Protein backbone atom coordinates (compact mmCIF):
# COMPACT_ATOMS: atom_id res chain seq x y z
CA UNK A 1 0.00 0.00 0.00
CA UNK A 2 2.96 2.29 0.72
CA UNK A 3 5.90 2.06 -1.61
CA UNK A 4 9.09 4.12 -1.31
CA UNK A 5 11.51 4.02 -4.21
CA UNK A 6 15.03 5.30 -3.86
CA UNK A 7 14.03 8.30 -1.76
CA UNK A 8 16.71 10.91 -1.11
CA UNK A 9 16.56 14.04 1.01
CA UNK A 10 19.24 16.55 1.97
CA UNK A 11 19.28 19.44 4.38
CA UNK A 12 21.80 21.89 3.01
CA UNK A 13 24.73 19.65 2.02
CA UNK A 14 23.77 17.01 4.59
CA UNK A 15 22.29 13.92 2.92
CA UNK A 16 19.86 12.68 5.52
CA UNK A 17 18.05 10.06 3.41
CA UNK A 18 20.22 8.31 0.89
CA UNK A 19 18.24 6.05 -1.41
CA UNK A 20 15.56 4.55 0.82
CA UNK A 21 13.40 1.82 -0.74
CA UNK A 22 10.71 0.25 1.38
CA UNK A 23 7.29 -1.30 0.94
CA UNK A 24 4.56 -1.54 3.54
CA UNK A 25 1.61 -3.86 2.84
CA UNK A 26 -1.91 -3.20 4.04
CA UNK A 27 -2.27 -4.26 7.68
CA UNK A 28 1.47 -4.53 8.19
CA UNK A 29 3.43 -3.03 11.03
CA UNK A 30 6.91 -1.85 10.11
CA UNK A 31 9.40 -0.63 12.72
CA UNK A 32 12.25 1.73 11.89
CA UNK A 33 15.16 1.38 14.25
CA UNK A 34 18.54 3.06 14.22
CA UNK A 35 20.74 5.48 16.11
CA UNK A 36 19.61 9.01 16.82
CA UNK A 37 20.23 11.12 13.71
CA UNK A 38 20.00 8.17 11.33
CA UNK A 39 16.99 9.71 9.56
CA UNK A 40 13.95 7.97 11.08
CA UNK A 41 11.98 11.15 11.79
CA UNK A 42 12.87 12.66 8.45
CA UNK A 43 11.67 9.53 6.66
CA UNK A 44 8.30 9.66 8.41
CA UNK A 45 7.97 13.39 7.76
CA UNK A 46 8.68 12.79 4.07
CA UNK A 47 5.98 10.13 3.86
CA UNK A 48 3.51 12.59 5.39
CA UNK A 49 4.70 15.35 3.03
CA UNK A 50 5.79 17.55 5.92
CA UNK A 51 9.15 17.60 4.09
CA UNK A 52 9.47 17.46 0.31
CA UNK A 53 11.82 14.77 -0.93
CA UNK A 54 14.64 15.61 -3.36
CA UNK A 55 14.53 12.53 -5.55
CA UNK A 56 12.90 9.13 -5.84
CA UNK A 57 9.19 8.58 -5.32
CA UNK A 58 6.61 7.70 -2.68
CA UNK A 59 3.52 5.78 -3.82
CA UNK A 60 0.37 5.49 -1.73
CA UNK A 61 -1.98 2.90 -3.23
CA UNK A 62 -0.29 3.39 -6.57
CA UNK A 63 -0.56 7.18 -6.55
CA UNK A 64 2.71 9.11 -6.66
CA UNK A 65 2.27 11.42 -3.69
CA UNK A 66 5.78 12.82 -3.96
CA UNK A 67 4.92 14.59 -7.21
CA UNK A 68 6.26 18.14 -6.76
CA UNK A 69 3.44 20.68 -6.67
CA UNK A 70 0.82 18.16 -5.55
CA UNK A 71 -1.64 19.56 -3.00
CA UNK A 72 -0.52 17.82 0.19
CA UNK A 73 -3.70 18.28 2.23
CA UNK A 74 -5.80 15.43 0.73
CA UNK A 75 -2.85 13.05 1.07
CA UNK A 76 -2.21 13.97 4.70
CA UNK A 77 -5.82 13.24 5.54
CA UNK A 78 -5.23 9.63 4.52
CA UNK A 79 -2.08 9.38 6.66
CA UNK A 80 -2.19 9.85 10.42
CA UNK A 81 0.89 10.98 12.29
CA UNK A 82 1.78 11.03 15.98
CA UNK A 83 4.83 12.87 17.26
CA UNK A 84 7.30 12.32 20.08
CA UNK A 85 6.24 15.54 21.83
CA UNK A 86 2.45 14.93 21.44
CA UNK A 87 1.90 18.40 19.87
CA UNK A 88 -1.63 18.69 21.19
CA UNK A 89 -3.18 22.13 20.76
CA UNK A 90 -2.82 23.56 24.27
CA UNK A 91 -5.71 26.02 24.02
CA UNK A 92 -8.30 23.32 23.27
CA UNK A 93 -9.80 20.54 25.36
CA UNK A 94 -8.97 16.97 24.44
CA UNK A 95 -12.33 16.67 22.69
CA UNK A 96 -11.80 19.88 20.69
CA UNK A 97 -8.33 18.71 19.71
CA UNK A 98 -9.88 15.57 18.26
CA UNK A 99 -12.85 17.28 16.59
CA UNK A 100 -11.05 20.19 14.93
CA UNK A 101 -9.83 18.43 11.80
CA UNK A 102 -13.00 16.38 11.11
CA UNK A 103 -15.07 19.54 11.59
CA UNK A 104 -13.00 21.70 9.28
CA UNK A 105 -11.94 19.13 6.73
CA UNK A 106 -15.05 16.96 6.53
CA UNK A 107 -17.41 19.79 7.43
CA UNK A 108 -19.15 17.78 10.15
CA UNK A 109 -20.86 19.34 13.15
CA UNK A 110 -19.79 18.67 16.72
CA UNK A 111 -23.08 16.89 17.35
CA UNK A 112 -22.61 14.60 14.37
CA UNK A 113 -19.07 13.78 15.49
CA UNK A 114 -19.73 13.31 19.18
CA UNK A 115 -20.86 9.65 19.19
CA UNK A 116 -17.86 8.45 17.25
CA UNK A 117 -15.39 10.66 19.12
CA UNK A 118 -16.79 9.53 22.46
CA UNK A 119 -16.47 5.96 21.29
CA UNK A 120 -12.80 6.53 20.39
CA UNK A 121 -12.03 8.13 23.75
CA UNK A 122 -13.76 5.27 25.52
CA UNK A 123 -11.93 2.66 23.49
CA UNK A 124 -8.59 4.06 24.66
CA UNK A 125 -9.58 4.57 28.30
CA UNK A 126 -9.95 8.34 28.07
CA UNK A 127 -13.72 8.74 28.45
CA UNK A 128 -13.37 10.86 31.60
CA UNK A 129 -10.66 13.06 30.10
CA UNK A 130 -12.52 14.52 27.12
CA UNK A 131 -13.11 17.93 28.70
CA UNK A 132 -9.58 18.29 30.07
CA UNK A 133 -6.98 20.59 28.61
CA UNK A 134 -3.62 19.07 27.62
CA UNK A 135 -1.80 20.54 30.62
CA UNK A 136 -4.26 18.77 32.91
CA UNK A 137 -3.30 15.39 31.44
CA UNK A 138 -0.32 13.12 32.10
CA UNK A 139 2.16 12.54 29.29
CA UNK A 140 0.71 9.11 28.60
CA UNK A 141 -2.82 10.51 28.43
CA UNK A 142 -1.70 13.34 26.16
CA UNK A 143 -0.05 10.92 23.79
CA UNK A 144 -3.15 8.74 23.71
CA UNK A 145 -5.27 11.81 22.93
CA UNK A 146 -2.85 12.60 20.10
CA UNK A 147 -3.40 9.09 18.75
CA UNK A 148 -7.17 9.47 19.02
CA UNK A 149 -6.89 12.82 17.22
CA UNK A 150 -5.11 11.18 14.30
CA UNK A 151 -7.53 8.22 14.26
CA UNK A 152 -10.56 10.51 14.14
CA UNK A 153 -9.63 11.36 10.55
CA UNK A 154 -9.99 7.65 9.68
CA UNK A 155 -6.50 7.37 8.20
CA UNK A 156 -5.54 4.40 6.08
CA UNK A 157 -2.07 4.30 7.54
CA UNK A 158 -0.54 5.62 10.76
CA UNK A 159 2.98 6.94 11.32
CA UNK A 160 4.43 7.04 14.86
CA UNK A 161 7.63 8.93 15.58
CA UNK A 162 9.17 7.67 18.83
CA UNK A 163 5.90 8.30 20.58
CA UNK A 164 7.05 6.84 23.91
CA UNK A 165 10.46 8.52 24.08
CA UNK A 166 9.29 11.59 25.99
CA UNK A 167 7.30 9.57 28.54
CA UNK A 168 8.18 8.59 32.07
CA UNK A 169 8.96 4.85 32.06
CA UNK A 170 5.82 3.91 33.99
CA UNK A 171 3.64 5.58 31.33
CA UNK A 172 5.18 3.84 28.32
CA UNK A 173 3.08 0.72 28.81
CA UNK A 174 -0.30 2.42 28.41
CA UNK A 175 0.74 3.94 25.09
CA UNK A 176 2.21 0.70 23.78
CA UNK A 177 -1.07 -0.99 24.71
CA UNK A 178 -2.85 1.43 22.38
CA UNK A 179 -0.50 0.39 19.58
CA UNK A 180 -1.17 -3.29 20.34
CA UNK A 181 -4.87 -2.61 20.11
CA UNK A 182 -4.49 -0.84 16.75
CA UNK A 183 -2.35 -3.68 15.51
CA UNK A 184 -5.02 -6.23 16.40
CA UNK A 185 -7.59 -4.12 14.53
CA UNK A 186 -5.49 -4.40 11.40
CA UNK A 187 -4.23 -0.82 11.13
CA UNK A 188 -1.29 -0.30 8.79
CA UNK A 189 1.51 1.26 10.83
CA UNK A 190 5.04 2.58 10.45
CA UNK A 191 6.89 3.28 13.72
CA UNK A 192 10.19 4.84 14.54
CA UNK A 193 10.97 3.32 17.90
CA UNK A 194 13.57 2.42 20.50
CA UNK A 195 11.24 -0.10 22.16
CA UNK A 196 13.04 -3.17 20.84
CA UNK A 197 11.08 -5.71 22.87
CA UNK A 198 7.84 -4.26 21.58
CA UNK A 199 9.14 -4.24 17.99
CA UNK A 200 10.32 -7.81 18.27
CA UNK A 201 6.97 -8.91 19.62
CA UNK A 202 4.66 -7.21 17.12
CA UNK A 203 6.41 -5.99 13.98
CA UNK A 204 6.08 -7.74 10.64
CA UNK A 205 9.25 -6.09 9.47
CA UNK A 206 12.18 -4.28 11.05
CA UNK A 207 14.23 -1.73 9.09
CA UNK A 208 17.58 -0.76 10.49
CA UNK A 209 18.51 2.75 9.35
CA UNK A 210 22.13 3.78 9.35
CA UNK A 211 23.22 7.20 8.10
CA UNK A 212 20.21 7.62 5.85
CA UNK A 213 20.29 4.14 4.33
CA UNK A 214 18.38 0.99 5.16
CA UNK A 215 21.33 -1.12 6.19
CA UNK A 216 19.24 -4.20 6.79
CA UNK A 217 15.58 -5.16 6.82
CA UNK A 218 13.62 -8.29 7.53
CA UNK A 219 11.33 -10.00 10.03
CA UNK A 220 12.21 -9.41 13.70
CA UNK A 221 13.35 -13.00 14.11
CA UNK A 222 16.12 -12.37 11.57
CA UNK A 223 17.11 -8.84 12.54
CA UNK A 224 17.21 -9.42 16.28
CA UNK A 225 18.36 -13.02 16.41
CA UNK A 226 20.63 -13.26 13.39
CA UNK A 227 21.61 -9.87 11.96
CA UNK A 228 23.70 -10.18 8.83
CA UNK A 229 25.49 -6.83 9.01
CA UNK A 230 28.13 -5.79 11.54
CA UNK A 231 26.54 -2.35 11.87
CA UNK A 232 23.24 -3.87 12.90
CA UNK A 233 24.93 -6.15 15.39
CA UNK A 234 26.90 -3.24 16.86
CA UNK A 235 23.76 -1.10 17.16
CA UNK A 236 21.77 -3.86 18.81
CA UNK A 237 24.61 -4.66 21.18
CA UNK A 238 24.69 -1.02 22.28
CA UNK A 239 20.96 -0.70 22.80
CA UNK A 240 19.97 -4.06 24.29
CA UNK B 1 17.83 17.85 51.11
CA UNK B 2 17.94 14.45 52.75
CA UNK B 3 15.27 11.84 52.32
CA UNK B 4 14.25 12.32 55.95
CA UNK B 5 13.57 16.02 55.38
CA UNK B 6 11.68 15.24 52.19
CA UNK B 7 9.25 12.95 53.95
CA UNK B 8 8.96 15.54 56.71
CA UNK B 9 7.96 18.05 54.06
CA UNK B 10 5.32 15.72 52.68
CA UNK B 11 3.91 15.17 56.16
CA UNK B 12 3.80 18.93 56.75
CA UNK B 13 1.91 19.43 53.49
CA UNK B 14 -0.68 16.87 54.56
CA UNK B 15 -1.06 18.30 58.10
CA UNK B 16 -0.35 22.05 58.03
CA UNK B 17 -0.32 23.17 61.72
CA UNK B 18 3.40 22.78 62.56
CA UNK B 19 5.53 25.35 60.72
CA UNK B 20 8.73 24.05 59.23
CA UNK B 21 12.07 25.61 60.20
CA UNK B 22 12.30 26.96 56.67
CA UNK B 23 8.94 28.75 56.96
CA UNK B 24 9.87 30.26 60.32
CA UNK B 25 13.14 31.50 58.87
CA UNK B 26 11.44 33.00 55.82
CA UNK B 27 8.90 34.81 58.00
CA UNK B 28 11.72 36.36 60.07
CA UNK B 29 13.54 37.50 56.93
CA UNK B 30 10.38 38.94 55.40
CA UNK B 31 9.53 40.85 58.59
CA UNK B 32 13.00 42.34 58.81
CA UNK B 33 13.07 43.52 55.18
CA UNK B 34 9.57 45.02 55.48
CA UNK B 35 10.73 47.06 58.47
CA UNK B 36 13.82 48.30 56.65
CA UNK B 37 11.73 49.28 53.60
CA UNK B 38 9.18 51.17 55.70
CA UNK B 39 11.81 53.11 57.63
CA UNK B 40 13.81 54.13 54.56
CA UNK B 41 10.66 55.21 52.68
CA UNK B 42 9.57 57.33 55.64
CA UNK B 43 12.98 59.02 55.75
CA UNK B 44 12.91 59.90 52.05
CA UNK B 45 9.37 61.30 52.25
CA UNK B 46 10.32 63.32 55.33
CA UNK B 47 13.35 64.76 53.54
CA UNK B 48 11.26 65.83 50.53
CA UNK B 49 8.52 67.35 52.65
CA UNK B 50 10.96 69.40 54.76
CA UNK B 51 13.58 70.27 52.12
CA UNK B 52 11.48 71.22 49.08
CA UNK B 53 9.54 74.05 50.85
CA UNK B 54 12.92 75.51 51.84
CA UNK B 55 13.70 76.20 48.16
CA UNK B 56 13.56 79.94 47.40
CA UNK B 57 10.89 79.69 44.66
CA UNK B 58 8.67 77.22 46.48
CA UNK B 59 5.92 79.71 47.38
CA UNK B 60 5.58 80.83 43.75
CA UNK B 61 5.57 77.24 42.46
CA UNK B 62 2.99 76.25 45.03
CA UNK B 63 0.71 79.04 43.96
CA UNK B 64 0.89 78.40 40.22
CA UNK B 65 1.07 74.55 40.20
CA UNK B 66 -0.58 73.35 43.38
CA UNK B 67 -3.31 75.91 43.86
CA UNK B 68 -6.19 74.27 45.71
CA UNK B 69 -8.72 76.88 44.70
CA UNK B 70 -7.95 76.62 41.00
CA UNK B 71 -7.90 72.85 41.31
CA UNK B 72 -11.37 72.71 42.82
CA UNK B 73 -12.68 75.13 40.23
CA UNK B 74 -11.31 73.32 37.15
CA UNK B 75 -11.08 69.65 38.04
CA UNK B 76 -14.73 68.66 37.32
CA UNK B 77 -14.53 70.19 33.84
CA UNK B 78 -11.23 68.41 33.23
CA UNK B 79 -12.80 65.10 34.14
CA UNK B 80 -15.60 65.88 31.70
CA UNK B 81 -13.10 66.66 28.95
CA UNK B 82 -11.36 63.39 29.72
CA UNK B 83 -14.51 61.60 28.58
CA UNK B 84 -13.44 62.65 25.06
CA UNK B 85 -10.08 60.95 25.59
CA UNK B 86 -11.88 57.83 26.65
CA UNK B 87 -14.25 57.96 23.69
CA UNK B 88 -11.44 58.45 21.15
CA UNK B 89 -9.52 55.63 22.83
CA UNK B 90 -12.56 53.38 22.85
CA UNK B 91 -13.32 53.62 19.16
CA UNK B 92 -9.65 53.45 18.18
CA UNK B 93 -9.00 50.11 19.88
CA UNK B 94 -11.26 47.86 17.75
CA UNK B 95 -10.04 49.55 14.57
CA UNK B 96 -6.41 49.06 15.59
CA UNK B 97 -7.03 45.42 16.45
CA UNK B 98 -8.59 44.62 13.09
CA UNK B 99 -6.07 46.54 10.98
CA UNK B 100 -3.08 45.26 12.95
CA UNK B 101 -4.21 41.64 12.58
CA UNK B 102 -4.76 42.13 8.85
CA UNK B 103 -1.28 43.64 8.44
CA UNK B 104 0.34 40.90 10.54
CA UNK B 105 -1.35 38.20 8.45
CA UNK B 106 -0.45 40.00 5.21
CA UNK B 107 3.20 39.97 6.24
CA UNK B 108 2.97 36.26 7.00
CA UNK B 109 1.51 35.14 3.65
CA UNK B 110 3.65 32.88 1.50
CA UNK B 111 1.37 32.78 -1.50
CA UNK B 112 3.19 34.55 -4.37
CA UNK B 113 -0.08 35.95 -5.74
CA UNK B 114 -0.42 37.83 -2.48
CA UNK B 115 3.11 39.24 -2.63
CA UNK B 116 1.84 42.81 -3.16
CA UNK B 117 -0.11 42.46 0.08
CA UNK B 118 3.02 41.34 1.86
CA UNK B 119 5.01 44.22 0.41
CA UNK B 120 2.30 46.61 1.50
CA UNK B 121 2.44 45.17 5.02
CA UNK B 122 6.20 45.68 5.19
CA UNK B 123 6.04 49.24 3.84
CA UNK B 124 3.18 50.10 6.14
CA UNK B 125 4.89 48.96 9.33
CA UNK B 126 8.19 50.56 8.31
CA UNK B 127 6.62 53.92 7.50
CA UNK B 128 4.32 54.30 10.46
CA UNK B 129 6.83 53.06 12.99
CA UNK B 130 9.39 55.42 11.49
CA UNK B 131 7.51 58.69 11.93
CA UNK B 132 6.91 60.40 15.29
CA UNK B 133 3.24 60.08 16.28
CA UNK B 134 2.85 63.84 16.58
CA UNK B 135 4.00 64.29 12.98
CA UNK B 136 1.41 61.79 11.71
CA UNK B 137 -1.21 63.62 13.77
CA UNK B 138 -0.23 66.94 12.20
CA UNK B 139 0.04 65.65 8.65
CA UNK B 140 -3.27 63.82 8.66
CA UNK B 141 -5.09 66.07 11.12
CA UNK B 142 -4.34 69.26 9.20
CA UNK B 143 -3.69 67.82 5.74
CA UNK B 144 -6.88 65.93 5.06
CA UNK B 145 -9.39 68.48 6.42
CA UNK B 146 -7.39 70.95 4.26
CA UNK B 147 -8.82 69.19 1.21
CA UNK B 148 -12.03 71.09 1.96
CA UNK B 149 -14.21 68.06 2.65
CA UNK B 150 -17.84 68.77 3.65
CA UNK B 151 -18.97 68.32 7.26
CA UNK B 152 -18.67 66.02 9.12
CA UNK B 153 -15.73 64.77 7.08
CA UNK B 154 -13.52 67.69 8.03
CA UNK B 155 -13.76 66.90 11.74
CA UNK B 156 -10.42 66.78 13.59
CA UNK B 157 -11.93 64.09 15.80
CA UNK B 158 -12.16 61.78 12.80
CA UNK B 159 -8.78 62.53 11.28
CA UNK B 160 -7.02 62.65 14.62
CA UNK B 161 -8.38 59.21 15.35
CA UNK B 162 -7.27 58.03 11.91
CA UNK B 163 -3.73 59.23 12.63
CA UNK B 164 -3.59 57.36 15.93
CA UNK B 165 -5.13 54.23 14.42
CA UNK B 166 -2.66 54.16 11.54
CA UNK B 167 0.35 54.59 13.80
CA UNK B 168 -0.69 52.18 16.50
CA UNK B 169 -1.78 49.53 13.99
CA UNK B 170 1.82 49.40 12.77
CA UNK B 171 3.17 48.70 16.26
CA UNK B 172 0.44 46.27 17.23
CA UNK B 173 0.86 44.44 13.90
CA UNK B 174 4.50 43.82 14.79
CA UNK B 175 3.45 42.52 18.20
CA UNK B 176 0.97 40.10 16.61
CA UNK B 177 3.61 38.99 14.15
CA UNK B 178 6.12 38.27 16.89
CA UNK B 179 3.39 36.27 18.63
CA UNK B 180 2.68 34.28 15.47
CA UNK B 181 6.37 33.54 15.03
CA UNK B 182 6.72 32.46 18.64
CA UNK B 183 4.36 29.52 18.12
CA UNK B 184 6.51 26.45 17.66
CA UNK B 185 6.62 24.84 14.22
CA UNK B 186 5.54 21.53 15.74
CA UNK B 187 2.07 23.02 16.22
CA UNK B 188 1.84 23.77 12.51
CA UNK B 189 3.22 20.33 11.70
CA UNK B 190 0.57 18.69 13.88
CA UNK B 191 -2.19 20.69 12.21
CA UNK B 192 -0.85 19.98 8.71
CA UNK B 193 -0.52 16.29 9.42
CA UNK B 194 -4.25 16.23 10.16
CA UNK B 195 -4.93 17.67 6.71
CA UNK B 196 -5.94 21.13 7.94
CA UNK B 197 -5.42 23.83 5.33
CA UNK B 198 -2.91 26.64 5.84
CA UNK B 199 -5.62 29.16 6.61
CA UNK B 200 -7.44 26.87 9.06
CA UNK B 201 -4.11 26.14 10.75
CA UNK B 202 -3.55 29.87 11.20
CA UNK B 203 -7.10 30.57 12.30
CA UNK B 204 -7.70 27.73 14.73
CA UNK B 205 -4.24 26.69 15.90
CA UNK B 206 -1.66 29.46 15.57
CA UNK B 207 -3.59 32.72 16.04
CA UNK B 208 -5.51 31.81 19.21
CA UNK B 209 -2.26 30.88 20.93
CA UNK B 210 -0.33 33.83 19.49
CA UNK B 211 -2.92 36.40 20.54
CA UNK B 212 -3.01 35.07 24.08
CA UNK B 213 0.74 35.18 24.30
CA UNK B 214 0.99 38.87 23.34
CA UNK B 215 -1.79 40.18 25.58
CA UNK B 216 0.69 41.79 28.02
CA UNK B 217 2.63 43.50 25.22
CA UNK B 218 -0.61 44.80 23.76
CA UNK B 219 -1.72 46.02 27.18
CA UNK B 220 1.36 48.21 27.22
CA UNK B 221 0.48 49.54 23.76
CA UNK B 222 -3.00 50.43 25.00
CA UNK B 223 -1.53 52.36 27.91
CA UNK B 224 0.70 54.30 25.53
CA UNK B 225 -2.28 54.93 23.24
CA UNK B 226 -4.36 56.27 26.13
CA UNK B 227 -1.66 58.86 26.77
CA UNK B 228 -1.13 59.69 23.10
CA UNK B 229 -4.78 60.62 22.67
CA UNK B 230 -3.67 63.87 24.31
CA UNK B 231 -1.63 64.63 21.17
CA UNK B 232 -4.89 65.33 19.35
CA UNK B 233 -5.18 68.48 21.46
CA UNK B 234 -2.77 70.05 18.94
CA UNK B 235 -5.22 69.74 16.07
CA UNK B 236 -8.48 70.74 17.71
CA UNK B 237 -10.42 68.25 19.82
CA UNK B 238 -11.11 69.72 23.24
CA UNK B 239 -9.97 66.75 25.25
CA UNK B 240 -8.42 66.97 28.68
CA UNK B 241 -5.04 68.45 27.74
CA UNK B 242 -6.63 71.08 25.51
CA UNK B 243 -9.15 71.90 28.24
CA UNK B 244 -6.31 72.28 30.76
CA UNK B 245 -4.57 74.64 28.33
CA UNK B 246 -7.71 76.73 28.02
CA UNK B 247 -7.95 77.01 31.81
CA UNK B 248 -4.26 77.84 32.08
CA UNK B 249 -4.66 80.83 29.73
CA UNK B 250 -7.88 81.90 31.42
CA UNK B 251 -6.61 81.74 35.01
CA UNK B 252 -2.89 82.27 34.36
CA UNK B 253 -2.23 79.18 36.50
CA UNK B 254 -0.65 75.77 35.79
CA UNK B 255 -2.66 73.78 38.30
CA UNK B 256 -5.05 72.45 35.61
CA UNK B 257 -2.08 70.64 34.03
CA UNK B 258 -1.38 68.93 37.32
CA UNK B 259 -5.05 68.01 37.46
CA UNK B 260 -4.83 66.53 33.94
CA UNK B 261 -1.73 64.56 34.94
CA UNK B 262 -3.58 63.13 37.94
CA UNK B 263 -6.46 62.07 35.73
CA UNK B 264 -4.11 60.23 33.36
CA UNK B 265 -2.34 58.55 36.25
CA UNK B 266 -5.61 57.36 37.73
CA UNK B 267 -6.10 55.32 34.55
CA UNK B 268 -2.58 54.36 33.56
CA UNK B 269 -1.25 53.22 36.93
CA UNK B 270 -3.90 50.52 37.49
CA UNK B 271 -3.54 49.50 33.84
CA UNK B 272 0.24 49.24 34.16
CA UNK B 273 -0.05 47.19 37.34
CA UNK B 274 -2.49 44.88 35.57
CA UNK B 275 -0.18 44.46 32.57
CA UNK B 276 2.72 43.61 34.89
CA UNK B 277 0.51 41.12 36.68
CA UNK B 278 -0.36 39.45 33.35
CA UNK B 279 3.31 39.26 32.38
CA UNK B 280 4.24 37.72 35.72
CA UNK B 281 1.41 35.20 35.45
CA UNK B 282 2.44 34.18 31.95
CA UNK B 283 6.03 33.71 33.05
CA UNK B 284 4.84 31.48 35.87
CA UNK B 285 2.61 29.46 33.57
CA UNK B 286 5.39 28.82 31.10
CA UNK B 287 7.97 27.68 33.63
N1 LIG C 1 14.81 20.60 9.48
C2 LIG C 1 16.09 20.18 9.46
N3 LIG C 1 17.07 20.99 9.03
C4 LIG C 1 18.36 20.57 8.99
N5 LIG C 1 18.76 19.36 9.37
C6 LIG C 1 17.83 18.50 9.83
C7 LIG C 1 16.46 18.87 9.90
N8 LIG C 1 15.76 17.82 10.39
C9 LIG C 1 16.67 16.84 10.61
N10 LIG C 1 17.92 17.23 10.27
C11 LIG C 1 19.14 16.41 10.35
O12 LIG C 1 18.86 15.20 9.73
C13 LIG C 1 19.50 14.12 10.41
C14 LIG C 1 18.48 13.06 10.71
O15 LIG C 1 17.58 13.55 11.67
P16 LIG C 1 16.30 12.73 12.13
O17 LIG C 1 15.54 12.34 10.94
O18 LIG C 1 15.62 13.56 13.14
O19 LIG C 1 16.95 11.45 12.81
P20 LIG C 1 16.31 10.46 13.87
O21 LIG C 1 14.86 10.70 13.94
O22 LIG C 1 16.67 9.10 13.38
O23 LIG C 1 17.01 10.74 15.18
C24 LIG C 1 20.16 14.73 11.62
O25 LIG C 1 21.54 14.87 11.34
C26 LIG C 1 19.51 16.07 11.77
O27 LIG C 1 20.42 16.98 12.31
MG1 LIG D 1 13.71 11.38 15.56
CA distance B209 to chain A (A): 7
Domain with A39 in it? 2-89+155-239
Q: How many domains does chain A have?
A: 1
Three-class SS of residue A163? coil
Tens digits of per-residue pLDDT, B136-171?
999 998 888 888 888 888 788 889 999 999 999 999
Who's near A3: CB < 8 A, 6+ residues apart?
A22, A23, A24, A58, A59, A60
Task: Answer whether B163's CB lies under 8 Å from B137's CB.
Answer: yes
With a pLDDT cut of 70, the percent of chain A lying above it is 100
The pairing of strands A2-11 and A55-60 is antiparallel
% chain B with pLDDT above 90 = 55
- Contact residues, chain B, for A74 at CB < 8 Å: 195
Pocket of ligand 1 (CB under 6 A): A 11, 16, 34, 36-42
Cβ neighbours of residue B226 closer than 8 Å, sequence gap 6 or more: B85, B89, B264, B267, B268, B271
User: A27 falls in which pLDDT band (50, 70, 90)?
Assistant: very high
Residues of A in contact with B182 (CB under 8 A): none
Q: Which atom of ligand 1 is nearest to the CA of A39?
A: 17
B186 and chain A: CB distance < 8 Å anywhere?
yes
Q: Classify A83 as helix, strand or coil.
A: coil
Closest by Cβ to B195, choosing from A45, A88, A153 = A153
Partners of A3 in the beta sheet? Answer: A23, A59
Distance from chain centroid for Cα B39: 33
Residue-wise over B259-285: b if at least 16 C-beta within 10 A, else e? Answer: bbeebbeebbeeeeeebeebeeeeeee
- Residue A194 in domain: yes
Q: What pLDDT sits at residue B14?
A: 55
Q: Would you give the DSSP letter of residue B204?
A: I
φ, ψ of residue A205 in degrees (nearest 5): -150, 140
CATH code assigned at A174: 3.40.50.300
Worst-scoring range by mean pLDDT, A49-58, A77-86, A182-191, B276-285? B276-285
Instruction: State the CATH architecture for B69-286.
Output: Orthogonal Bundle (1.10)
DSSP conformation class of B274: H
Residue A103 lies in a domain: no
Residue A92, classed as helix, strand or coil, is coil
Asked whether the beta carbons of residue A77 and residue B194 sit closer than 8 angstroms, the reply is yes
For residue A73, the distance in angstroms to the closest alpha carbon of chain B comes to 5
Cβ-defined contact of B192 to A76 (cutoff 8 Å): yes
Q: Give CA torsion, residues A73, A75, A81, A87, to 10 deg.
A: 0
Comparing CB atoms, the residue among A89, A149, A153 nearest residue B205 is A89
Residue A146 in any domain: the answer is: no
Domain assignment present for A124:
no
* Cα A6 to Cα B258: distance, rounded to the nearest angstrom: 78
Mean pLDDT of all residues in chain B?
A: 88
Q: How far apart are CA B62 and CA B56, in angstroms?
A: 11
> Cβ contact (<8 Å) for B195 and A149?
no
What strands lie across the sheet with A14-24, from one edge to the other?
A14-24, A2-11, A55-60, A63-64
Distance from CA of A156 to the nearest CA of B (A): 13
- The 10s digit of each residue's pLDDT in B43-84 is 999 999 888 888 888 888 888 899 889 999 999 999 999 999
In a domain, A144, yes or no: no
Say if A140 falls within a structural domain. no
Task: Give contacts of B200 with chain A, Cβ < 8 Å.
Answer: 104
Amino acid sequence: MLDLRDVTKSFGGNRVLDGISLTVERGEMVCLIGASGSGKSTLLRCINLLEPIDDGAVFLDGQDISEPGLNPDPVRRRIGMVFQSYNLFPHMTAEENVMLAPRRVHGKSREALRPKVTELFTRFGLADRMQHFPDQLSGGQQQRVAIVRALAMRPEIMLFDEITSALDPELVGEVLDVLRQLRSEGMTMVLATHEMKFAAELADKICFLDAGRIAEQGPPSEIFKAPKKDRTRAFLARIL
Amino acid sequence: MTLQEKTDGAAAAAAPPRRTRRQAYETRVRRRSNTVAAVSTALVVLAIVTLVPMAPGWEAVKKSFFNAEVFAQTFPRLVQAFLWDIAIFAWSVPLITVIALAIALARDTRNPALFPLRLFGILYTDIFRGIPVILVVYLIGFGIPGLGLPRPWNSPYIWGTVALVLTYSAYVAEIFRSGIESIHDSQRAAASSLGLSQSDTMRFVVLPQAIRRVVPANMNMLIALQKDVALLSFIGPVEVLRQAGVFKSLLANFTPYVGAALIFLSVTIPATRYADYLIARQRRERS
